[in-house]
Amino acid sequence: MFRKQRTLVRYLISYSIVLLLPVLLIGGNSIRLFMIESENVFMTDTLNSLQASVDTIDSKVAGIERLMAYLQSNSSFTAHNLQKGAYEIYRAQKQLSQYTIMDDFSNEILFYIRNSDLLFSSKSTYDTGMFAERIYRFTQWESQAFNEDISKADTIMVRCSDTAYCAATEGQRILTYIWPFPLLSKNPYASIIVPVREETVREIINIDITNGYVIVFDKDEQMIMEINKPDESLINSIHNSCIGDVSYNKITCNGEKYFITRVDSSKYGWKYYYVIPQKPTFQNMQSIIIQNVTMISITTIAGFFIIYLIARNNYMPLKQLMELISKSKITPGLINNKESELDVTHKELIFLYEEHRRLSESIYNNTSDVRSALIDALLYGKIPTRDYFNKKGKSIGMLITKQYLRIVNIFLDSTIEDNNDFENRLVSLIPGDLEVYFSYDSEKQFNLVVTSETTGRESLNKMLCRFIDDIKNRYGILCRVGVSNLFTAIQNADEAYIEAVTSSDMNSERNQSAICYFEDANYSIWSSQNVKAYPHKLFEQLETVILLRDKRQIQQTIEKLCNAISRSDISLFMARCLCMQTINCVMKTSIIIKLPQPIEWHQYDWFIISKVLNTKEFIMIIEEISSELCEKLPVISSPAIELENVLTYIHDHAYDSNFSIKTMAIEIGMSDSNLSHFFKQRIGRNISDYVNDLRIQKAKEYLCTTDMPVKEIVIKVGYYDVSSFIRKFKQLAGVTPGDFRKKKGTIAE
């Protein structure tokens, strides 16, 4: 089987090697680093714990020496006083009981007067022979040796821990400290003996010694204490392990590995060794390592199996492709028995690539048309929301995900033959913080929809400057650029388009090849003079009379709008906006009333409006669309008066905070349910939505034309509280009232 599937075997082996090497290298190195780091952490923690224990023991011993210093200053413990008799010894014993160490290091202090048989403590008085044979009966410290040690000690002496038998310490190991008294005297006349239980030292040394050992040597390398008693060979190895400043090390003794930690007492020069076998200490760690190795092995084996299944599964299409190629009439004679499956597939893929490229060019041309149509719909004000745009543009890779938008209009002084190269150059200049989509108005003019997350224009300005220079250097073509104001509500794109075209026209008037931002120009429909002249009421009236199907009133309202456009104080930009808003009002309302024959809106698009340079042509366009509307508008007689009454009532009372559908229904003489149904059927919207639109439009007018606080505007337009007003305003306008006022205020400035 494998001879016929050489490609499968080759790739199976290759993929297996590629998998195995990283797994082994990474896994082995990880285990090695884990072991090293674990040992370092263990040794460091052990060293710190042992150092703390040594410091505690030194402090305990220092406490005894402080007590001795106090006794030296006490007249009751002088040699002369102690030789006076039993009463003075009794007094010294009573005072000694008062100074017994208050912690649990030792519960008894013994005071021995040399050259006598007298030994007394904080608890009782003893004969030295009786004390060594009965009170503290050590197994390796006989009575004679005991007497010699306490009589001849001329510096601090520590007797190695030994098992002692007495009523209080039956079978316990005792570590004995012996000091000459006075401490620094050349001729001491007494000795201080402090027995300390080895168990007390174990508790102070806060280290796990279940499997380990603690060994203490004095400054003369004599062992003075051992816990868990290691064998002699281990003790000899310990001596040779931590030499000089070495604090920890690893040794091997009798075939077993040990960790050794050493801490030197800075006060007495004693050396504390902590020794523990490596195997039980890292038994859990070794278990973890074994588990990791097992998992790596299982992963490797599973990987081999999965690679085999995947390779075999992936080979099946190759095999099927070979069968199809052999039967193909499109590429006859492509298979050669001397060639491998991959060679044959390579030839077939080249053929398919050429076909794909040819088809892609065809699809791209169609996609470009769809993209241009979607951008044009946006610029013509036919896109109601971002979600609507993104839903339409998702399949062709057009999504608006950023908050702020601008429209850029670019006019070239001559045509470019290679549009593909031109578009690629433009795409290559787009920075990462901008989204840019473009469409053509003509061979010389095109538009950009630019979105960003910030209000600054540095990134856009840099891109446009590079574009102007690149077009000039590459094609020798000059261009002028107009940029609209920032906006967030996507339904305002049509107004922004007019702003961009107007800014571009300003460059034409100045004969400049530069970038003109609308906010830097003096064209503004929001100047104080033009706001007062802007016929908001006429557009409300036009919408109402179209809904009423009243042709006479439609003609009269259109005539008033034409008179407003023909005024001498109206700027070109203002006239364009009035013309386009009239067209939008007619289009929107005609959709609501569902004309039997819809108006062809593309006959009145922004491109046509942007090319008009005088008010007479604007008036002709408005009169033309008005005539087309009246021709296609069916006449409805009976309900018109009723609907007119409803709309009149709403416009008269919409800004009253007490406005309600129930009250309006009583005034008109209908039930509130019938009224709501009638309004929805005729207008296509709920009464509450219609009223909210009127209120928000009125609020916008106050925000633009007055300095009235938002709280007062809320009351003026019929809302009760500020929060609900702001929420509704942002829902319908796309921004908060404050941001709306700032934006319009910036334009006015």
Q: Kindly state the DSSP code that residue 635 receives in the 8-state scheme.
A: P
Name 405's bridge partners. Answer: 451, 487
What is the percentage of the chain residues whose pLDDT exceeds 70? 80
What's at 10, amino acid-wise?
R
Residue 451's pLDDT is what?
92
> What is the spatial distance between Cα 603 and Cα 310, in angstroms, rounded to a whole number?
59
Pairing of strands 125-127, 118-121: antiparallel
CB burial of residue 701 (10 Å; 0-12, 13-18, 19+): middle
Q: Above 80 in pLDDT, residue 739?
A: yes
Q: Above 80 in pLDDT, residue 565?
A: yes
pLDDT (tens digit per residue) in 609-640: 767 777 888 888 888 888 888 888 875 544 44
Residue 622's pLDDT is what?
86
pLDDT (tens digit per residue) in 688-734: 889 999 999 999 989 888 889 998 999 889 888 888 899 889 888 88
Residue 450's pLDDT is what?
92
User: Which residues have CB under 8 Å from 278's CB, separation 6+?
Assistant: 250, 256, 257, 258, 259
Q: Above 60 in pLDDT, residue 338?
A: no
Residue 749's pLDDT is what?
36
- The stretch 257-280 carries a mean pLDDT of 81
- The stretch 671-696 carries a mean pLDDT of 85
Q: Above 70 in pLDDT, residue 277?
A: yes
Residue 747's pLDDT is what?
35
pLDDT (tens digit per residue) in 446-472: 889 999 988 888 888 888 888 888 888
Q: Above 60 in pLDDT, residue 86?
A: yes
Max avg pLDDT among 297-311, 348-362, 487-501:
487-501
- The stretch 467-486 carries a mean pLDDT of 85
Q: Above 80 in pLDDT, residue 394?
A: yes
Q: Above 70 in pLDDT, residue 168?
A: no
CB burial of residue 461 (10 Å; 0-12, 13-18, 19+): middle
Pick the residue with more confidence: 181 or 320?
181
126 token code pair: 């003893």
**Domains assigned to the chain:** 364-426+434-520 (3.30.70.270), 526-599+610-635 (no CATH), 637-749 (1.10.10.60)
What is the full DSSP assignment across 550-563? -HHHHHHHHHHHHH
Between CA 671 and CA 678, with CA 675 as vertex, the angle to 5 degrees is: 140
2 token code pair: 């494998």
Report field, pTM of the whole predicted structure over 0.85: no
Q: What is the pLDDT of the chain when averaged over all its residues?
A: 77
Strand order in the sheet with 271-277: 223-227, 213-217, 271-277, 256-264, 248-253
User: Which residues have CB under 8 Å from 675's CB, separation 6+?
Assistant: 646, 661, 664, 665, 668, 687
572 token code pair: 């070109």
Pick the residue with more confidence: 434 or 235?
434
Pick the residue with more confidence: 639 or 390?
390
Residue 529's pLDDT is what?
47
- The stretch 187-207 carries a mean pLDDT of 82
pLDDT (tens digit per residue) in 45-82: 888 888 888 888 888 888 888 877 877 777 777 777 77
